[in-house]
Amino acid sequence: MKTQKEKILDLQLKLTLAHRLIKEGARPSIVRAVCHISKHTAINLYKEIHGYGPVAGLLPYDPYWATKSPHNCLHASIFFNIYNILSKSSESKGQIFLTSFLLYKETLNGGKVKMDVNRAWYVGQQMTLSYLSGVKCEKCYSTFVAIESYPTLYKFCPICDTITDSTERKKWKKPITFKKIL
Ligand SMILES: [Zn+2]
């Protein structure tokens, strides 16, 4: 059983984490899931920080986002690798998630943040559920994310298996299918 003091400290840690996540743009539903605080508290904190209430409605969710383009895959892979390393620490899961996201942003060194904190949370969830897994590229030896249930044929490295089209956009060398292959 936790003492009253421990309970207060626990709550304080949760609220500090929630505050930092909301400042990063996290939506209340995600803040609740990460920090285990009530809906009421998450919404009130959101209003206090942003000065307005959160947008109603469901969060957009695309299970194939991380593999849709080399650019998405590269960003998801940076986050994936950081998250995997930090997951070995004794910090709380919420703290590991926030730190991973902040380090991902730092890695971009001022470049465009392709994956916001809400998207990063989904990627983290997909890793936990083993929907996404790490694959080692045989050419550059980097570890990138791929959908676990896809055959190897559809697991592409975002650095090696790409071409640049006439508009300077990176595309997969081979067309990728987004249908879940069982
Ligand atoms: Zn590669």
Q: 161 alpha carbon to ligand 1 midpoint, in Å?
A: 7
Q: 136 alpha carbon to ligand 1 midpoint, in Å?
A: 8
Q: 142 alpha carbon to ligand 1 midpoint, in Å?
A: 6
Q: 96 alpha carbon to ligand 1 midpoint, in Å?
A: 27
pTM of the model: 0.89
**Ramachandran region, residue 93 (left: φ > 0; alpha: ψ -120 to 50; beta: rest):** alpha
Of 11, 25, 7, nearest to 98 by C-alpha is 25
Tell me the torsion sign for CA atoms 116, 43, 98, 111: positive
- The two most distant CA atoms of the chain are separated, in Å, by 64
Q: For residue 104, is pLDDT > 80?
A: yes
Q: 171 alpha carbon to ligand 1 midpoint, in Å?
A: 14
Q: What is the pLDDT of residues 39-60, one digit of tens each?
A: 999 999 999 999 999 988 777 7
Q: 157 alpha carbon to ligand 1 midpoint, in Å?
A: 5
pLDDT at residue number 51: 96
Q: What is the pLDDT of residues 136-178, one digit of tens each?
A: 999 999 999 999 999 888 899 999 999 998 888 889 887 666 5
Q: 143 alpha carbon to ligand 1 midpoint, in Å?
A: 8
